[in-house]
Structure 1
Amino acid sequence: MRALVTRPREDSEGVARALEARGLDVMVEPLLDIEPVPGARVEADGAQGILVTSANGIRALARLHSDRSLPVWAVGDSSAAVSRALGYDRVESAGGDVDTLAGLVARRVDPAGGVLLHAAGSVTAGDLAGLLEAQGYRVRRQVLYRAVTATRLSAELHRALKGGAVDLALFFSPRTAATFVRLVAAAGLESSIARLAAYGLSANVSAQLAPLPWARLRQAAEPTQAALLAALDLDLTRESLS
């Protein structure tokens, strides 16, 4: 059984290992390329902590700013793990999305303590700054990277989809899901999707995937990689028993 992973390559490594541990063959097709913003600078003066809504954000920040002393509040477990690996030792995960991250900050952080530095990309999901500013926080959004969408499916993936050599696909962001749907339609491969199972990290991701005729479309119980893999495990168990 072959699984397609569509995340940026650096983000795909962990989930690829998890899938291989389940006995799956893994094909990585990054539909987003992560690029630094030319001339980006980090303005950390007066910041009391860092907001992380993607692993790419904290990677970009760490490349530009050597100080690891500020606390980090991360949207999920994966971005929290990357933050720790980069040397930040005060890291807390919201285990969800921007809404749960805003809730975590509201419980942990005094608005009077200083500005919150958001290590962001040029396009972000949700309105974290708006949620926090409505509660009296000051958010300094620093655009440090950009995610450039693929313009076509690779020849390898085109052949695999057309030949029925992919069984399931995992999607972690609405933008990646929307890009996949657009590129499949442009390639005229919609009918090839009818034998694939799709697994979306959240309701927003699943909504972007809905236009294609998937054999089944599953959504994680919560927006974490662990929950997404749990949804996959349930289907794998059912298939092994059938």
Structure 2
Amino acid sequence: MTSVLITRAEPDASEFAAECRLRGLDPVISPVMRIEIEKTEPDLSDVGALAFTSVNGVRAFAANSPERSLPVFAVGPVTAAAATAAGFQQIGVAGGDVHTLTNHIAAESALLGKAILHIAGADRAGDLVAMLGERSVAARRQTLYHAKAEDMLSAEAVAALKGEPGLWVTLFSPRTATLFLALAEKAGLTSQLAQARALCLSAAVAQAASAVIWGETVVASDLTAQGMLETITGGGPRA
């Protein structure tokens, strides 16, 4: 049975594990971070649209505000799906990283006439607000969650990395990739990654994962969790 190491934070880790089992895969869960949502009402004064660069940003906003009528700009399909599930209806989808999101917002922002509010975590891959400012787009940021790094990989993850050549390691964000590599190094397992396969949600994630040598690095073609699963089971393109 093909094993899949899942590094996502909960509840996404368990949800992805359930999908793996439905496809006959053997999931090994080891989140590299945990999400803590602040209890703070978003400041929506003079805001024309929301920008989300992660699923957790969507969750943090939804937990703190009933507002769902504002247009949303999502960094990629996974975040867009979370916004749809939260009840937003007008959703623009970028290409999976902060650069494509900046371009997408800049192309549309003139229609809004107000500022973009980026709902973010304390740690970010790229400064969306600064990049929008360079494009003369009014934007500000509000931090509504913190992604706290875990101290170590799970015992099951360590065993899988040591004993399963060809293990798939799923990486859903650049920060997840960076944290995973740090925990692998802490466990003395960096060399073991040369026999594992990094499955990355986007090219930006693959770039973050490239700090070490992998047996193979694969990017999901359609930037979704389902696309990652199809890649593992042979139903999706590999790169």
Name the residue aligned to 2:97: 97
Name the residue aligned to 1:185: 185
Q: Please give the TM-score of this superposition, normalised by the length of structure 2.
A: 0.86
The residue type equivalent to 2:117 in the other structure is: L
Which shifted more, 157-166 or 80-89? 157-166
Spell out the pairing of 1:24-103 with structure 2 (5 A cutoff).
Answer: 24-37=25-38, 40-103=40-103
Separation in 2, partners of 1:122, 1:116: 18
Spell out the pairing of 1:103-122 with structure 2 (5 A cutoff).
Answer: 103-110=103-110, 113-122=113-122
Over aligned residue pairs, what C-alpha RMSD do you find? 2.6
Name the residue aligned to 1:6: 7
Partner SS, residue 133 of structure 1? helix
Name the residue aligned to 1:198: 198
Which shifted more, 181-190 or 51-60? 181-190
**Alpha-carbon shift at residue 44 of structure 1 (Å):** 0.3
The residue type equivalent to 1:199 in the other structure is: L
Partner SS, residue 4 of structure 1? strand
Separation in 2, partners of 1:72, 1:17: 29
Q: Please give the TM-score of this superposition, normalised by the length of structure 1.
A: 0.85
Partner SS, residue 35 of structure 2? strand
Give the conservation status (yes or no) of the 8 Å contact 2:71–2:91: yes
- How many equivalent pairs are there? 237
Which shifted more, 86-95 or 116-125? 86-95
Partner SS, residue 83 of structure 1? helix
The residue type equivalent to 2:85 in the other structure is: A
Partner SS, residue 199 of structure 1? strand
The residue type equivalent to 1:50 in the other structure is: L
Partner SS, residue 31 of structure 2? coil
Residues 165 and 88 (structure 1), Cα distance of their counterparts in 2 relative to 1, 3 Å cut? same
2:157 aligned with 1:162? no
Name structure 1 gaps, 5 residues minimum.
Answer: none
CA deviations over 1:94-118 (Å, ceiling 9, x no partner): 1421111122212222177111111
CA deviations over 1:53-100 (Å, ceiling 9, x no partner): 111001101111111111111111111111111111222211421111
Name the residue aligned to 1:146: 146
Name structure 2 gaps, 5 residues minimum.
Answer: none
Name the residue aligned to 1:171: 171
**Alpha-carbon shift at residue 221 of structure 1 (Å):** 4.8
Name the residue aligned to 2:130: 130
CA deviations over 1:179-206 (Å, ceiling 9, x no partner): 2222122212234333321122334433
Residues 198 and 41 (structure 1), Cα distance of their counterparts in 2 relative to 1, 3 Å cut? same
